[in-house]
């Protein structure tokens, strides 16, 4: 039974308390019965109830106190700042804690904790959440606490390994290791003159002639109007995968008058002997006297190169007949290719 009694009975209650003297004592008064109510009655208060303190519930007695609104502390500090609502005891919350009008993340109203936090138990973040530790110092974790297992996301990064990385269960396949460029040096004294005619040793008086320059070493030297070729042969290494070319390090004894080219031809034999040498496109000698330059000779049948193939090649001067052309000096010859690891 609901009774609206405060508005009509409050004077009676106050008078009763005064006449009986209990207003000066710490006695406990049953306002419900004093106002004519019984246990379970509801009382409506049209206005604001101001009390020095309030006690809700008894020891061992359950119950629910309903607050249909917002609890605030109306008092302020001496500086005029709002005082917080203070809970002077342990707080038990059986529901969800959230901030703002909408429950859950994504509304730009995160719960704010403005103090140190100590968790006695586990801290679980639901799947799909983000743990942002930008600028945060993490202590109490050493390398011994970290897993020594590498996962795919961990491997998808540029890292430097300073120790041995041994894959026993699944050895690395060649396709999983980056290829590298390698060179096979072809010694100048291991080649021969007139390679495509009557091969002969290269000497200080042959064409080309072998000569020595202090601080630069040996070189095969061609003079103006020389036409005799030189060449040799080599076996393509077994780790060959692609990009095989012959290279030469060249210089000139002076400025080029008209033109200096080096022509070449190559025969590549693997399953069967090549029946002819392919005459390739002449390569220009740079007009850069006093500075070594690299010339690249790329065979037309480069696709036929394979590990174990025999390569026979010869190189000779072309368009070097102008009067006063300088000597061409060849300081090194090598085979360069991409090797599979």
pLDDT digits (tens, 9 = 90+) for 144-165: 777 776 666 666 777 777 877 7
Round to whole Å and give the CA distance between 18 and 289: 123
Kindly indicate the confidence band of residue 142, based on its pLDDT and cuts at 50, 70 and 90: confident
- Tens digits of residue pLDDT in 185-229: 999 999 999 888 899 999 999 999 999 999 999 999 999 999 999
Number of H helices, E strands in the chain: 3, 15
In this prediction, what percent of the chain has a pLDDT beyond 70?
89
Q: How far apart are CA 244 and CA 334, in angstroms?
A: 10
- State residue 106's pLDDT score: 78
Distance CA 86, CA 274 (A): 96
Which of 31-40, 108-117, 178-187, 198-207 shows the lowest mean pLDDT across its residues?
31-40
Q: Which whole number is the average pLDDT over 115-141?
A: 85
Q: Average per-residue pLDDT in the chain? A: 85
Give, for 294, the enclosing helix (H) or strand (E): strand 293-297
Which has more confidence, 6 or 267?
267
Helix (H, G, I), strand (E, B) or coil at 188: helix
Give all domains of the chain, ordered by start, each with its CATH number.
2-43 (no CATH), 180-339 (2.60.120.260)
pLDDT at 39 > cutoff 60: yes
Could you count the other beta carbons within 10 Å of the beta carbon of residue 180? 11
User: In the predicted model, what is the mean pLDDT of residues 14-25?
Assistant: 50
pLDDT tier at 18 (50, 70, 90 boundaries)?
A: very low
Q: What is the dihedral of CA 138, 141, 143, 145, to 10 degrees?
A: -140
Instruction: Please report the pLDDT score of residue 7 as a whole number.
Output: 43
pLDDT score at 128: 76
Q: Is the pLDDT confidence value at 80 over 60?
A: yes
Closest to 192 (Cα-Cα) out of 210, 179, 174: 210
The Cα–Cα gap between 87 and 299 comes to 88
pLDDT at position 3 over 50: no
Structure-model confidence comparison of residues 30 and 17, the more confident one? 30
Structure tokens at 245: 């070319």
Between 63 and 166, residue with greater pLDDT: 166
In angstroms, the CA 333 to CA 230 distance is 11
- H helix runs in the chain, sequence order: 6-20, 31-34, 152-155
């Amino acid at each position: 039974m609901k009774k609206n009694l405060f508005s009509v009975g409050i004077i009676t209650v106050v008078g009763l308390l005064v006449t009986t003297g209990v207003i000066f004592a710490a006695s406990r008064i049953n306002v419900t019965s004093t106002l004519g109510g019984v246990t379970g009655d509801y009382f409506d208060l049209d206005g604001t109830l101001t009390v020095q303190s309030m006690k809700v519930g008894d020891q061992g007695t359950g119950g629910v106190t309903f607050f249909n609104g917002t609890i605030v502390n109306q008092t302020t500090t001496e500086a005029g700042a709002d005082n917080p609502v203070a809970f002077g005891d342990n707080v038990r919350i059986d529901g969800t804690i959230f901030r703002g009008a909408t429950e859950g993340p994504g509304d730009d109203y995160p719960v704010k904790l403005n103090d140190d936090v100590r968790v006695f138990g586990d801290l679980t973040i639901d799947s799909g959440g983000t743990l942002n530790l930008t600028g945060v110092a993490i202590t109490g974790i050493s390398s011994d606490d970290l897993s020594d297992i590498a996962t795919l996301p961990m491997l998808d990064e540029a890292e430097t390994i300073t120790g041995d990385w041994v894959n026993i269960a699944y050895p690395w396949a060649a396709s999983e290791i980056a290829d590298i460029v390698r060179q096979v040096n072809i010694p100048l004294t291991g080649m021969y003159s007139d390679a495509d005619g009557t091969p002969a040793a290269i000497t200080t008086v042959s064409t080309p002639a072998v000569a020595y320059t202090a601080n630069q070493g040996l070189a095969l030297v061609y003079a103006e109007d020389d036409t005799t070729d030189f060449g040799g042969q080599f076996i393509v290494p077994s780790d060959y995968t692609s990009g095989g070319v012959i290279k030469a390090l060249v210089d000139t004894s002076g400025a080029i008058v008209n033109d200096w080219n080096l022509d070449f031809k190559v025969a590549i034999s693997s399953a069967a002997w090549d029946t002819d040498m392919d005459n390739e496109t002449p390569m220009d000698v740079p007009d850069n006297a006093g500075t070594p330059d690299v010339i690249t000779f790329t065979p037309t049948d480069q696709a036929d190169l394979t590990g174990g193939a025999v390569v026979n090649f010869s190189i000779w001067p072309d368009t070097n007949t102008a009067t006063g052309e300088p000597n061409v000096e060849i300081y090194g010859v090598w085979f360069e290719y991409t090797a599979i690891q």
